[in-house]
Amino acid sequence: MKEFFKALLASVLGTFIAGALACFLFFVLIIGLISAASNHEAPGVSVKAKTMLVIGNGMLINDTPQHGSPGLSILLESQKAPEVDLLRAIEAVKQAAKDKNIIGLLIAGETDAGLVQLNELRQAIKEFKKSKKPVIAWIENGSQQEYYLASVADKIYAHPAGEVEFKGLARYSPYIGESLKSLGVGVQVTKVGKYKSAVEPFLSDKMGESDREQTELLLGGAWKKILADVSESRKLSSVSLNRIANSGGVFTPDLALKIKLVDELCQRDQLVTKICSLGAAADDHGQSFRQISLTKYAGKVDFSSGDGKIAVIYAEGEIVDGWGDNYNVGGDRLARNLRNLRGDKSIKAVVLRINSPGGSAFASDIVAREVGLLKQSGIPVVVSMGDVAASGGYYIAARGNRIIANPATITGSIGVFGLHFNYQELAKKINLGTDGVKTSRYSDLFSSHRAATAEEMAIVQKMVDQVYEDFLNVVSEGRKIELTQVHEIAQGRVWLGVNAKEVGLVDKMGGLVDAIALAKELAKKPDAAIIQIPSLYSGRENILQKLLSDEENEDPVFVKAKHHDPALQILKAHLSFLNRVGNLNDPKGVYLRCPVEINVR
């Protein structure tokens, strides 16, 4: 019995010590992770010799670090796509060119990004090619978006059983005006600007002529840019490429090879052999090649050291009143972040990266005020425009010291609209009664149970007119343009970046990297550190989630295929429209929202 108690005591004591040690080690680990988070440092990434850098494979690129896919799209995917922010992606490609362990670059599979983001990534890959390392592309069932990025490669391989898409651009939206009318839902609109057509989907069953006119010009300009980029890379004339797009849109691999969209057809195993012949080592299983994805390799990027700081702050998504969330621009949140930068003595310049079609007029004004105060405090503000920086997106840009846009950026849309819904006719159809009392003449102004009177609509029109005048004044003041001239280029008209420069809304053409370089120049700090707001590692939760996840270290390049479930495609096609309606939360019901977006797919 004595020996039994000794053994029991030893066992209990050993278990206690082991448990205490485990708790201590876990505590040390948590402290280390939190410390890494506070310093915005990515986990270490090691790269073995003879590794191929892979871009694509379902990768999602946003401007904002850890932005994610908006709304219901997260629920429509079987797994979260690997994600990287544009600046880190570009810098990673730049570092890979100098990395002796990276032997080349493979573009394979879909990269989910906007036209301007893809264009900026293409520019980075073009710079990478100066290292003389091979850049090849692999297409299985390639969308037009996929082909646009792949076309920058030295050589494009295609699977003989797949397809290649090159078909041009189109823009179609649901027009639910007649449907709402048949349901008995009333829609009342106030607006300023001949081209301010964002309200048309709620009023009609078809596109208005002014909107058709400007959309044709915008799509034509963006398509011209795509043709020029592909033409330069593939050594095919823009005329020939346009003829190809009009000849079929989707091509068998044999035909794609014949018309020189691709260079060679091969199976997956043959591609592996070709990549290994370029110098890549075989993988641990001997069945593929040694590879690292751009999303993982970007963990090596660190621009946190230097003389002073340049802050890159992001406004990506629709502008909404209040705090917002990860998928839109909360006016209060962005204004707070700008205000904090103004009080930080280590910040020498700010780059405001805008990728927004606008939204709430009130929230846009709150943000624009902070941009102006930041500039007045002596901190230079350089605006970098992404795929779209229009309406409210342009409102918050106008007071910057300099504005840089991509030739295909959608911008301008200087106009205003008010939008109010009521269910008066619907109530009649279903015999729904609404009754009550009020103390004053306008106590139930814009209540949803009835249509507004002509007098009430006039009140709102006056508010909309005032917001439009404020918009004109903000642009006139920020851009140093006469008010009458601003009015001529306003009217809600949308411009491509290249045309916006001609009319004075933009200073120069360029991307995010160019904006950062200009900010350093204005701050006279060529070696400044870069901080991103919001940052990649902004809190302990994200790091712990990453630590505790069961994600594989590295998927083979062929595993992830584009998802073609038709039911999900239908839902996704209408998701942006539903998100747009859900973001209409301006306290006055007045909006600065651009009607046009370009989808490369």
pLDDT per residue as tens digits for the range 210-229 = 889 999 999 999 999 999 99
Catalytic annotation present for 196:
yes
pLDDT at position 445: 86
Question: Can you tell me the mean pLDDT for 490-519?
Answer: 96
pLDDT at position 576: 59
Q: Indicate which residue of 391, 501, 520, 560 is catalytic.
A: 391
pLDDT at position 372: 97
Check whether 16 has a pLDDT greater than 70.
no
Check whether 71 has a pLDDT greater than 50.
no
Q: Say if residue 297 is exposed, middle or buried (CB neighbours under 10 Å; 0-12, 13-18, 19+).
A: buried
Q: How would you classify the pairing of strands 416-422 and 590-593?
A: antiparallel
Check whether 482 has a pLDDT greater than 80.
yes
Give the integer Cα–Cα distance in Å for 410 and 398.
15
Catalytic annotation present for 143:
no
Domain spans of the chain, in order of start: 46-166+249-303+553-562, 309-417+453-542
Residue 197 banded pLDDT, cuts 50, 70, 90: confident
pLDDT per residue as tens digits for the range 328-377 = 999 999 999 999 999 999 999 999 999 999 999 999 999 999 999 999 99
CA angle 172–176–178, rounded 5-degree value: 125
Q: Indicate which residue of 50, 196, 225, 300 is catalytic.
A: 196
Q: Which two tokens stand for residue 457?
A: 């609509």
pLDDT at position 74: 43
Helix residue ranges, H only, 278-429: 294-297, 331-342, 361-376, 392-395, 424-429
Q: One fold for both 46-166+249-303+553-562 and 309-417+453-542? A: yes
CB 450 within 8 A of CB 225: no
In the structure, how many helices (H) and strands (E) does the chain have? 20, 24
What CATH architecture does domain 309-417+453-542 belong to?
Answer: Alpha-Beta Complex (3.90)
What class, spelled out in words, does domain 46-166+249-303+553-562 have in CATH? alpha beta
pLDDT at position 286: 83
Provide the whole-model pTM: 0.83
Residue 580 banded pLDDT, cuts 50, 70, 90: low
